[in-house]
Amino acid sequence: MTAAIAASGVRATARIAARGNERGGTDLPVLDGEGPLAVRRTRSAGTGAHVTLVGAMSAPLGGDRLTVEAAAHAGARLRVGSAAATLALPGQSKEPARYDVRITVGDDAELSWLPEQLISVRDSELCVTTRAELAASASLVLREEQVLGRTGEDPGRLTSRLTVRRAGRPLLDQELSCGPGAPGGWDGPAVLAGHHAIGQLVVVRPEFERDKPGPALLGEATVRMPLAGPAVLVTVVAPDALRVRRALDEALRTLT
């Protein structure tokens, strides 16, 4: 498919749909990308499907509107990753870029959303919205990692909102805004405390209804908190992306 190019930026959508089959595996009836959003099925072990997002061009730039829709329908096992980090870059348009992720997980389905880091480059402005809608028996692993500026560089403006709903009820709805022009205090002791990388991990599992991990301090700047319903949130801040990834990987090992 071809992306639309407007005067203010690129408009592109990638669509991924997975469905469980009668053999106990997972089919991918929909796997479409546009413009900077290319999607590839990659080799995976087991019965699940693994899809990788591949950046076909520099994006998001100022004014771009990018959307990724990922759906794991009944009985599917889907893992979505990315080939490389995403750089939010300034563009010719002075409008902010938008990157919307829409996740749907059906009955008895599992979806793991595990992209590489998002890097907010100096003079860029990006609004990221991630919305996940889960059925009551669905499972979700969702990881977000954000880096404020390249090495030795100030960040751009980054606003990120994450919403997770299960069976029509909210589990999590939070927003963070960082960088020039963001509300005061984002780099203070109550939020990032001078760190340049932040990560969060949301794990939703039906079995957490019976036995959900409790709150815990997992490291110097890593905390695990139970959410309402069968869900857990892990948040970490660190000086760099590598330490964020290590903390989230270790937290995930204790939750799966």
Domain ranges for the chain: 4-253
Taking a C-beta distance cutoff of 8 angstroms, is the pair 80, 51 a contact? yes
Of 143 and 55, the structure prediction assigns the larger pLDDT to 143
End-to-end Cα, the chain, rounded Å:
37
Apex 164 CA angle, 45 and 205, nearest 5: 45
Q: What is the pLDDT of residue 65?
A: 96
Inform me whether the pLDDT recorded for 6 exceeds 60: no
**45-55, pLDDT tens digit by residue?**
778 999 999 98
Confidence of residue 152 (pLDDT cuts 50, 70, 90): confident
Q: What is the pLDDT of residue 3?
A: 58
Q: What is the pLDDT of residue 31?
A: 97
Q: What is the pLDDT of residue 5?
A: 58
Confidence of residue 2 (pLDDT cuts 50, 70, 90): low
Residue count of the chain, please give it.
256
Lowest mean pLDDT, pick from 14-23, 91-100, 116-125, 178-187: 178-187
Q: What is the token pair recorded at 251?
A: 């937290």
Residue in 125, 130, 127 with CA at minimum distance from that of residue 181: 125
Confidence of residue 149 (pLDDT cuts 50, 70, 90): very high
Average pLDDT, the chain: 93
Of 48 and 189, the structure prediction assigns the larger pLDDT to 48
Q: In whole angstroms, what is the distance from residue 48 CA to residue 79 CA?
A: 7
- Is the Cα dihedral 248, 249, 251, 256 positive or negative? positive
**83-126, pLDDT tens digit by residue?**
999 999 998 888 999 999 999 999 999 999 999 999 999 999 99
Q: In whole angstroms, what is the distance from residue 233 CA to residue 227 CA?
A: 7
Stretch 190-194: mean pLDDT, rounded?
80
Q: What is the pLDDT of residue 54?
A: 94
Taking a C-beta distance cutoff of 8 angstroms, is the pair 82, 115 a contact? yes
Residues whose CB is less than 8 angstroms from the CB of residue 70 and which lie 6 or more positions away in sequence, other chains included: 16, 17, 51, 78, 80, 101, 102, 103, 104, 111, 113
Confidence of residue 182 (pLDDT cuts 50, 70, 90): confident
Q: What is the pLDDT of residue 62?
A: 93
The 8-class DSSP code of residue 208 comes to G
Of 9 and 224, the structure prediction assigns the larger pLDDT to 224
Q: What is the pLDDT of residue 92?
A: 85
Q: Peptide bond preceding 60: is omega within 30 degrees of 0, i.e. cis?
A: yes
Lowest mean pLDDT, pick from 22-26, 169-173, 193-197: 193-197
> 3-state class of 103 per DSSP?
strand
Helix (H) / strand (E) element for 144: namely strand 139-148
Q: Bridge-partner residues for 136, per DSSP? A: none
Q: What is the pLDDT of residue 61?
A: 93
Task: Quickly tell me which residue has 């992720």 as its tokens.
Answer: 101
86 residue type, one letter: T
